[in-house]
Amino acid sequence: MVRHPLSKRANKYLRKFKKWPHSPYKTSWHHNFGEQQAIQNLKQATLEMGSSQQHQPQTRNLPYPFLLSTLLDSFKAYNCDPTPKAYYFVIKTLTNTSQLQDIPPVLDHLEHLEKFETPESILVYLIRFYGLADRVQDAVDLFFRIPRFRCTPTVCSLNLVLSLLCRKKDCLKMVPEILLKSQHMNIRVEESTFRVLIKALCRIKRLGYATEMLNCMIEDGYGLDETICSLIISSLCEQKDMTSVEALVVWRDMRKLGFCPGVMDYTNIIRFLVKEGKGMDALDILNQQKQDGIKPDVVCYTMVLSGMVAEGEYVKLDALFDEILVFGLVPDVYTYNVYINGLCKQNNVDEALKIVASMEELECKPNVVTCNTLLGALCVAGDLGKAREVMKEMGWKGVGLNLHSYRIMLDGLVGKGEIGEACVLLQEMLEKCFFPRSSTFDNIIFLMCQKGLISEATELTNKIVAKSFVPGARAWEALLLKSGSKLGYSESTFSGLLAQN
């Protein structure tokens, strides 16, 4: 067997004839390793800069800012090009250290000298930083500049810019321009964009625009967003200049669009209507809620009851309270107080007292509001006997009487001419540092002087003045005129001045 010469059929894997097809430094492994080392050097240089920058200023005459020069030198040392990750690290470091003056050169270098497609996340990060740093114009300029970084802008960056602009009323005028230019940037407005705009409009209380935006959203073929609708209702109910008529128009329009309100939505609109003094409209909304198959809670019933009482609509009051029990709901003390107040306003105090008794049977303890409501109704009716019993009974049951409780009872006693008992109650008030109304005290002193109790009136006046309470002119006049001494010129003049007041 004759072997062929090596020159004709040489084995290319022999050391003598071996030729490396690629440089060992251009393989994928070495390239990745070089990038990692470059980034590591960049981070190390950043740490060293942070520690030395506090002691001595930078004296290096660099063509670029320090971090950008460090980035370029680090990657050049390993014969590789800077990566998006490296630029993101530099930009993040500059923002965290407030070196904002060095950001424009980094962006210029990234735009004009680099060839890779810049990830949108880097630019989104910087846009967000500009917006939160109250540099809205820089954020807008960077948004328009996105395509120049070889990056395709998406709705993500658009939504971010819109949300930043909508945070301030002064920047709202820029929103139409952003939306128009976004079309030339081939950014398609999506449902998320409508959400951003509507939420922002609700936050700055521009509900008319928010509702129009919702209509545009539906006209563009997007489905009705229940969350957005609830947000509009919630914001609507917080408006101070919104009338009940306007609120109901928005509510009905959204219902026509297919909005199915939840319990919280019904609660918000009912609360708003009751606050506006539209108790019967609130009752209509409550009936709608039941028709929609949503069971109202005790809070909704309580608010509607209070609205009806405020409007003086007592015809359906008993039926609505009974409905609470039929639905298996347990009224709380607030519900009972509203219902008792309605009964008292109808002069049906006896029924109100029965309701208080039933409260205790159901282990719902009356509070001071319950007591004051009953005291007020009984004193107006002139039934001081029952008022005394209620006041004592509430005290026995541990209900802490407040200033309003004492004032109601004191006014009732004075109104009936029960001066002796009124003085005793007033003494008790002063011991608790409770003071009567100035007009009530003036009436007490006047009646005491009319009955010849001059010394007692003077003593009572001294006690209350010692507690920094200032009686009215009528009390001083009564004391001067009934003092039993002849008035001098100055005293009579003072008395005349009091009479004029």
Range in 8-12, 291-295, 397-401 the model is least confident about: 8-12
Does pLDDT of 141 surpass 90?
Answer: yes
Within a domain: 488: no
Does pLDDT of 215 surpass 50?
Answer: yes
- pLDDT (average), residues 457-462: 88
Cα end-to-end span (Å), the chain: 144
Within a domain: 395: no
| Dist. CA 118–CA 84, nearest whole Å | 6
| Cβ proximity of 207 and 232 under 8 Å | yes
The predicted-structure confidence for 57-68, as pLDDT tens digits, reads as follows 444 445 567 888
pLDDT at residue 297, as a whole number? 92
Angle in degrees, CA 23, 26, 30, rounded to 5: 120
Helix 419-431 vs helix 403-415: crossing angle, to nearest 10: 160
Within a domain: 302: yes
Within a domain: 53: no
- pLDDT (average), residues 388-412: 89
Q: Are residues 282 and 311 in the same domain?
A: yes
- What domain count does the chain have? 2
pLDDT at residue 265, as a whole number? 92
Q: Are residues 251 and 283 in the same domain?
A: no
Q: Are residues 224 and 284 in the same domain?
A: no
How many Cβ atoms from other residues are within 10 Å of residue 293's Cβ?
7
At 333, list the tokens.
């003390």
The predicted-structure confidence for 323-344, as pLDDT tens digits, reads as follows 998 888 999 999 999 999 999 9
Does pLDDT of 347 surpass 80?
Answer: yes
Q: Are residues 282 and 250 in the same domain?
A: no
| Dist. CA 255–CA 284, nearest whole Å | 14
Q: Are residues 285 and 253 in the same domain?
A: no
pLDDT interval class at 49 (50, 70, 90): low
Of all helices (H) and strands (E), which one includes residue 412?
Answer: helix 403-415
Q: Are residues 250 and 281 in the same domain?
A: no
| Dist. CA 270–CA 284, nearest whole Å | 9
Average pLDDT, the chain: 83
Q: Are residues 254 and 196 in the same domain?
A: yes
Q: Are residues 285 and 243 in the same domain?
A: no
Does pLDDT of 380 surpass 80?
Answer: yes
Within a domain: 30: no
| Nearest in space to 426 (alpha carbons), one of 481, 475, 370 | 475
| Dist. CA 162–CA 140, nearest whole Å | 9
Q: Are residues 203 and 250 in the same domain?
A: yes
Choose the final residue of a domain: 260, 288, 315.
260
Does pLDDT of 499 surpass 70?
Answer: no
Does pLDDT of 287 surpass 70?
Answer: yes
% residues pLDDT > 70 (the chain)? 86
More confident residue, 27 or 362: 362
More confident residue, 180 or 213: 180
Domain coverage including residue 206: 190-260
pLDDT at residue 217, as a whole number? 83
Within a domain: 129: no
CA distances from 474 to 470, 477, 481, 489, 496 (A): 12, 5, 11, 20, 12
| Dist. CA 422–CA 277, nearest whole Å | 37
How many Cβ atoms from other residues are within 10 Å of residue 38's Cβ?
25
At 7, list the tokens.
């020159």
pLDDT at residue 57, as a whole number? 45
Choose the final residue of a domain: 205, 233, 260.
260
pLDDT at residue 486, as a whole number? 40
Within a domain: 300: yes
pLDDT interval class at 489 (50, 70, 90): very low
Phi, psi for residue 41 in degrees, rounded to 5: -65, -40
pLDDT interval class at 258 (50, 70, 90): confident
At 90, list the tokens.
């530099």
Burial 337-353 (b: 16+ CB within 10 A, else e): bbbbbbbbbbebbeebb
Choose the final residue of a domain: 210, 232, 260.
260
Range in 133-137, 396-400, 484-488 the model is least confident about: 484-488
pLDDT at residue 4, as a whole number? 52
| Dist. CA 383–CA 350, nearest whole Å | 11
Within a domain: 472: no
Q: Are residues 256 and 285 in the same domain?
A: no
